[in-house]
Amino acid sequence: MLEELARRQAEARQRIEEFGRQLAEVRARLEAEEDRLSRLLIAQEVVEEILGGKGRLGADPVPDGEDGDAAGAEQDGPGSEAEVTRRGVVTVPPWRENLGPSVLPQAYRDVLEVLADAGRAMRAGKISAALGRGESAAAVEGLRGKLRRLVERGWLAQEEPGLFALTEQVHRQIAR
């Protein structure tokens, strides 16, 4: 009886390892497709600019200073927060000095807020729980992709494997 239990445990461990490999492969394919979509959106935007400055779906582009931002056109240079918001091409743009968290989708801003409130590095499971998503494997894995994207783009740092924190620059920016 104990031998049979040990055999079944070994089989379960093998299946878990295989599922882990499959999950990693699917995550890599998902990230590759997200990157591909981002490049396609950028290409579409460039083509639209070349063909007459029309925005997506044929709408006129937003003139400088009329994007709902009180700042004038002279402050909306390349890489500024207003310029990135107007385009909306890359979901998570790389962090730059004049780029605030408001350019990020709400789910990503929520992550930054949780880490700012905590004032320390946290693991994905704890961040997920703080966001009210729970600590189930599905919730944590979905969040882990967002965390990795924020690390890749300079918003977060991974102090050690699985431990995420705001970068010093982002922390200073949020603290203002």
The pLDDT of residue 64 is 37
With both helix axes pointing from N to C terminus, report the angle between 137-152 and 2-50 in degrees, rounded to the nearest 10: 40
The DSSP element (H or E) to which 123 belongs, if any, is strand 122-123
Its pTM stands at: 0.51
Please, what are the domains in the chain? 93-176 (1.10.10.10)
CB 145 within 8 A of CB 27: yes
pLDDT of residue 174: 83
Can you give the pLDDT at residue 6?
A: 96
Report pLDDT for 41. 79
Low-confidence ranges of the chain (pLDDT < 70): 53-90, 176
Q: Counting Cβ atoms within 10 Å, is residue 158 exposed (0-12), middle (13-18) or buried (19+)?
A: middle
pLDDT, position 90: 54
Distance CA(167)–CA(38), nearest Å, equals 24
φ, ψ at 111 (rounded to 5°): -60, -45
